[in-house]
Structures are given as C-alpha cells and as structure tokens.
Structure 1
Amino acid sequence: MYKLKTKETDSSVIAFIESVDNQGKREDAYTLLDIFAETTGYEAKMWGTSIIGFGKYHYKYASGHEGDAPLVGFSPRKAKISLYFATGDPQREKLLKDFGKHTTGKSCVYINKVADIQVDVLKSFIKESVVFLKKTYPDE
C-alpha cells in the first residue's frame, strides 16, 4: 500500500528558511512567507522536510488513495523556487499567462526569483487555488 511521504510536521518554518544557503533564495522565501500567510490567512507549517504549506485539505481519489496536503505552498529549492497550487483548476492557465517568468511541471510552478513574477497575479493564484480545493474537497 502507498505510504504518504509528505506530512505536516512540527518543524520550524523559520529554521528551515534560515538553512537555505543562497541568500537571495532565503530573502525570497521570507517574501513568499509573508505573501502566502497574508493572502491565505493560514499559519505556515512545514510539510515534510522542505515544503512550507498553508492550510490543509483531505483528498480521496477514486482509486482509494487518500491523504492530507497543504492548500498552497512553496519550497525554496536549490535550482528554483517551487510553488504549489491546485492542479485541475480551470483558472490555472489563464493566471499563468500573466504570471511572469516561470516554468511548470505536473503540479508545480517554478520560478527563479520573486522579482520575475507579478505579485498581484501570485496573490490571485493563491486565492483561486484555496477556493478551488475547498470546493473540490469540502470538509467531511
């Protein structure tokens, strides 16, 4: 049976950010921490060893796989900063058009630095993801 790897922990978000080697990424992490916390109204929590998440939802797929995940989050990784938003949200592509310099993966949006993106679009992305996930996975 599949074992969920990324779970909410009691680790310190600030200690994690302070452990980021690159000073620019560390400064961007603090900027993102403020933006995500202010926009969501949720306290930042560590998920696994490297994801800073805000809020949480419980998902259950048709396959029977289920678990908890942050509504939105980010991780200041070595190569790029990973931003975690809802997948499947019909507004995703529209928001990405005006987002700024980024690349995308299956579920992540990657940026080099906060200065490369439109912060107002980031805030819209955060709000839209939270609304979409709460609607898709209402509390049980």
Structure 2
Amino acid sequence: MAAAEVEEFLAGVTPAVRQRDALTLVELMRRATGEEPVLQHPGIVAFGRYHYEYASGRSGDAAAAGFAPRKTATVVYLSDGTAAHADALSRLGPHTSGVGCLYLKRLDDIDLTVLEAVVRRSYETLTAGTFGTRAPEASAG
C-alpha cells in the first residue's frame, strides 16, 4: 500500500521538472538509506525513522530522511541540521538552505554524488541511537 501511495503522489507532482526530480530523489534516497519510501502528509516522501529526545523532555519519532516536491523548489530535509554538512554543501551546486532544509530548484544543476553522501551521513547520524539535538541547536554548535 505504501508504494502505491508514493507512486500515486509522485504521478501528480507538478511542474514536470519537480516530478522528474522527485523520481530521481526516490532512487537516491533508497540507496542512501536502504529504506523504502512512505508518504507522509502534507506531501512528504519519507525514508526510515529515528527517535529523538531533547533536553526539554520532548521526545518522539520522525522521518530519518525525506523530501517534498513543492512548486518553486524541492525541499530535502536534513533533521541533523544543514550546518553539520556545510563543507559538502559548499560543493553541492546551486541551492538555498534553512536550518534543516535544502531547497533545490533543479537536480540537473547539482552534484548528485554530493547530495547522496549528505543524505547518507544525515541518515546515519540520526539513526545511530536516540538523537538529542534539534537542528537549530546543531547549527549553533
């Protein structure tokens, strides 16, 4: 059922460049995580899970890797914070970033080998045990 949901969602992604990039990212993230995609709402394709527990006592489970094809850019989620990947991201190609998100206009313009390495490293960091740092805190440290 999960595979059919992901396929149905991806079939409806527009514009065409976003759909093409989403199909590429599914394969890239499968390789990087060893996980199959599942659809999370609203419109997030997720791979694997990790457990977090913050100093505040808040805890839960979240996607260990994922992306969302949006109209203006594809968002790749890096829950361990983009700052943890600053060196690699400097070699990625054109992108913008937030605390825990990469915004990619066209995968054709970036180095997919670098992106796959970043996703793999983020996934491995998040799934190594209980993750205790929120992306804003990781970026500050």
Q: What TM-score does the superposition give when structure 1 sets the normalisation length?
A: 0.84
In terms of fraction of residues, the more helix-rich structure is 2
Q: Is the CA contact 1:36–1:126 (under 8 Å) kept in the aligned structure 2?
A: yes
Q: Is the CA contact 2:49–2:127 (under 8 Å) kept in the aligned structure 1?
A: no
CA distance in structure 1 between the partners assigned to 2:25 and 2:33 by the alignment: 12
> Residues 90, 107 of structure 1: CA spacing in aligned structure 2 closer, same or farther, 3 A cutoff?
closer
Q: What TM-score does the superposition give when structure 2 sets the normalisation length?
A: 0.83
> Residues 88, 82 of structure 1: CA spacing in aligned structure 2 closer, same or farther, 3 A cutoff?
closer
Q: Kindly report the root-mean-square deviation, in angstroms, between the aligned alpha carbons of the 2 structures.
A: 2.0
SS in 2 for 1:56: strand
What percentage of residue pairs aligned between the two structures are identical?
33
SS in 2 for 1:12: helix
Q: May I ask how many residue pairs the two structures share in their alignment?
A: 130
Q: Structure 1 residue 122: deviation in Å?
A: 0.8
- Structure 2 residue runs of 5 or longer lacking an equivalent are 132-141
Q: Deviations over 1:70-127 (max 9, x none)?
A: 1111110011100011324764111111111000012101010111210110111011
Partner amino acid for 2:127? K
Q: Deviations over 1:12-41 (max 9, x none)?
A: 111111111211111111011111112211
Residue 109 (structure 2) pairs with residue 108 (structure 1): no
Residue 21 (structure 2) pairs with residue 66 (structure 1): no
CA distance in structure 1 between the partners assigned to 2:78 and 2:84 by the alignment: 11
SS in 2 for 1:110: strand
Q: Structure 1 residue 65: deviation in Å?
A: 1.7
CA distance in structure 1 between the partners assigned to 2:119 and 2:16 by the alignment: 25
Equivalent position of 2:138 in the other structure: none
Q: Is the CA contact 2:80–2:125 (under 8 Å) kept in the aligned structure 1?
A: no
Q: Structure 1 residue 59: deviation in Å?
A: 0.9
